[in-house]
Structure 1
């Protein structure tokens, strides 16, 4: 089988321009979602492994690693970004999608919000869940920074220094393997250079709903009538393994856990 080429695309959506990469092809459709202050390169190894038999689509969400600022009036709350994902699927006319979320857990809101019709399978890997938004110590620090004038610029400037990236209170507690410096440079550069990108991230971080609403989203997973396998990192510090077991218990049809590498 000839391996499909990876092509770049852009979509003009209600919040602004969303960039994405698409392997094309006729295989089952996988849409892979990344987390805060990252971009689609998070999935580079997964795409390399799966692209021969799947159509892999990787959007860059407006979570700080995006290069094109959203419109000033865009709703970039957790629910707003989740709705943007639904709009993205609709704009590409994707159906029976396997939607994979990692780190960012907002896609759970699609079920509670009644916008999950295009999803054939929801794969939940280590991510924000229940009231752990933003997750763990790094998330708490990010939320504190976002509340202060100039706080996000102050928070991300030290990450120009390579050792700072590997501290437990930054990105060091979220991976067992070092992420290449050039990849992390790509994640953080928009936040270093653009006040509009920092504005977008601030909207997201401060747009987390109250705890009772977050728990309502989680409870709504009980109504999902499609496969929803859960795979969680046993040593995750920011997103504890207990948060993987709990949604697995909520989901009526968990399916088989996806393979890990």
Structure 2
């Protein structure tokens, strides 16, 4: 099931970038929305919201190399936060996309901030959804997610950490996915998230590089650039019950950016998982 992607995402494509082959799905037509997910999920995170938007938007949902992807990157690929941001910018250039709205959730929001700060040429707007702000650590501290970076220093400890995800009962623990989605994620999507990092050494290599390189200094630097220089629209779509990225942090960051802040009721961090209709309504508004 690691290779399963929901057909509602649209047709799957692959493109060769300087860092390696990147898979993505595409559906719909109109203004371009590019979605950036976080660590240990993939394009399936958007499977519920894309069909609600595809009549109005061209929705592009890449599988970023964050541990739940299918095609490993080049062994020498830069998977640090600036490297992932460059990869997203390279994807926009390769597809010749312009005036793109980037929607970033969880650490996908951190990467999106780096894209907007450092590669703004093709970005027309930014939607930050329950993600790192200048007040948050990266990985975030609540839920014990800091352990993810700590174990990435050694391939053996990294591999061992994820073996517990073989057992579905662990998927609702707060330090796995239990604090990220308010309601259980369906088994097909969950298998696509956890199987690659459990079973494939080449995918673990990428995931370990990516999570081992994260740091709050990147988001703080990007936030400073965005507050001073980014003139495109910024909206923030935040889970009202977020345990990982406090709503108070989002409120203060929204003021700093001059951004609209919308809260999504009855949801945790994965707002498009818990409340796709509400998120789609906000994006259409």
Q: TM-score, normalised on structure 2?
A: 0.84
Match of 1:111 in 2: 116
1:30 deviates by: 0.8
Judged with a 3 Å threshold, the aligned counterparts in structure 2 of structure 1 residues 196 and 225 are, in CA distance, closer, same or farther, namely: same
- Whether 1:260 aligns to 2:264 is no
Compare the two structures and name the one with the higher helix fraction.
2
Matched residues in 2 for 1:260 and 1:112: separation? 24
Q: Return the match for 1:239 from 245, 266, 271.
A: 245
1:48 deviates by: 1.3
Q: Is the 8 A contact 2:113 2:219 kept in 1?
A: no
Gaps of 5+ in 1: none
Matching of residues 168-207 of structure 1 within 5 Å:
168-207=174-213
Matched residues in 2 for 1:31 and 1:111: separation? 12
Q: Is the 8 A contact 1:95 1:118 kept in 2?
A: yes
Q: Is the 8 A contact 1:37 1:63 kept in 2?
A: yes
Gaps of 5+ in 2: 1-7, 264-277, 281-285
Q: Is the 8 A contact 1:158 1:164 kept in 2?
A: yes
1:152 deviates by: 2.1
Q: Is the 8 A contact 1:63 1:201 kept in 2?
A: yes
1:170-212 per-position Cα deviation (integer Å, ceiling 9, x unaligned): 1101111110112110111111121111111111112124x44
Matched residues in 2 for 1:7 and 1:116: separation? 27
Alignment RMSD (CA, Å) = 1.9
1:255 deviates by: 4.8
Match of 2:146 in 1: 140
1:23 deviates by: 0.8
SS of 2:197's equivalent? helix
Judged with a 3 Å threshold, the aligned counterparts in structure 2 of structure 1 residues 167 and 110 are, in CA distance, closer, same or farther, namely: same
Judged with a 3 Å threshold, the aligned counterparts in structure 2 of structure 1 residues 164 and 219 are, in CA distance, closer, same or farther, namely: same
Judged with a 3 Å threshold, the aligned counterparts in structure 2 of structure 1 residues 256 and 95 are, in CA distance, closer, same or farther, namely: farther
Match of 1:150 in 2: 156
Match of 1:43 in 2: 46
Matched residues in 2 for 1:45 and 1:5: separation? 8
Matched residues in 2 for 1:15 and 1:101: separation? 21
SS of 2:12's equivalent? strand
After TM superposition, the runs of 4+ consecutive aligned structure 1 residues lying more than 4 A away are 255-259
Matched residues in 1 for 2:64 and 2:85: separation? 10
Q: Return the match for 1:86 from 84, 89, 93.
A: 89
Q: Is the 8 A contact 1:221 1:247 kept in 2?
A: no
- Whether 1:160 aligns to 2:197 is no
1:15-58 per-position Cα deviation (integer Å, ceiling 9, x unaligned): 11000000142x11111111101000100111011111111110
Match of 2:133 in 1: 129
Of 188-197 and 130-139, more deviation after overlay is shown by 130-139
